[in-house]
Amino acid sequence: MALPVTDESLWFRRFHPRPEAEVSLVCLPHAGGAASFYFPISELLPPTVEALAVQYPGRQDRRHDAPIEDIHAMAREIYQALKPLTAHRPIALFGHSMGASVGFELARLLEGELGTVPVALFASGRPAPSHHRSLGIHRRDDAGLIAELRLVSGTDSRILGDTELLRLALPAIRSDYKAAETYEYRPGARLTCDIVGLTGDSDIRVTAPEVAGWREHTSGSFRLEVFSGGHFYLGEQKAAVAGVITDTLRAATARTRRPID
């Protein structure tokens, strides 16, 4: 018997189900990224943290769904799917590059509309919302877009080397870049959740001071973590990143007497 299609099954992938977890970590991919990007991080998390990797429409098993070209609309859709899950356990958010912007807007919805404060927002490889800038990459021709993908090394080399796979993937990638580059920060109340900014020390697309600007967007605590590597430092530093996530959630939940082991 086929399982029913629900908002949760459309949006979230549980690569390592942990029914007894104390915290759900919602993982938001970069432009052109898919839920599978977070498989290595999910695998390295402790039993008390369950990763829910977001699958944006337009890729992998959602390749027939129309991509969303607006960060605010994307966050709203994810919020609607996530709402029922907030009753089960606390939520933390991890977003890389474009995913950090989606995570920020998702945190705003959780706090502002649901009264649910995330345990933490991990904002990786992305300037603070108020420091947003665009390079106009989504307006380039296919060759220009592919050149950018090669430059930042964020797309599976098997796709870049396969003309047919690349042809299928480019529309979603271009839509994501449009969403990321046309994002407009709307001034409003600061978040109250803690924020951890993460970046690579040789990232050509974002500087450490730009990531440090995230401290302006919360009344909670902020700290900056700088790793060796470029825009996709997570590939080489996955164990260290998983350690930062684990330590941060352990400390945060200890304050509410919900230990992370």
What residues are labeled active site? 97, 231
Structure tokens at 182: 């046309």
CA distance 156 to 37: 10
**pTM greater than 0.85:** yes
Strand partners, 51: 25
Residues contacting 119, CB < 8 A, separation 6+: 23, 90, 91, 92, 193, 194, 249, 252, 253
Residue carrying structure tokens 């104390």: 22
Question: What is the structure's pLDDT at 182?
Answer: 92
Phi, psi of 225 (to 5 degrees): -115, 120
pLDDT, average across residues 42-58 = 96
Whether the predicted pLDDT of 72 surpasses 60:
yes
pLDDT by residue (tens digit) across 187-232?
999 999 999 999 999 998 899 999 999 999 999 999 999 999 999 9
CA distance 259 to 261: 6
pLDDT-derived band at 60 (thresholds 50, 70, 90) equals confident
Angle between helix 163-181 and 71-82 (nearest 10) = 100
pLDDT, average across residues 227-248 = 95
CA distance 41 to 237: 10
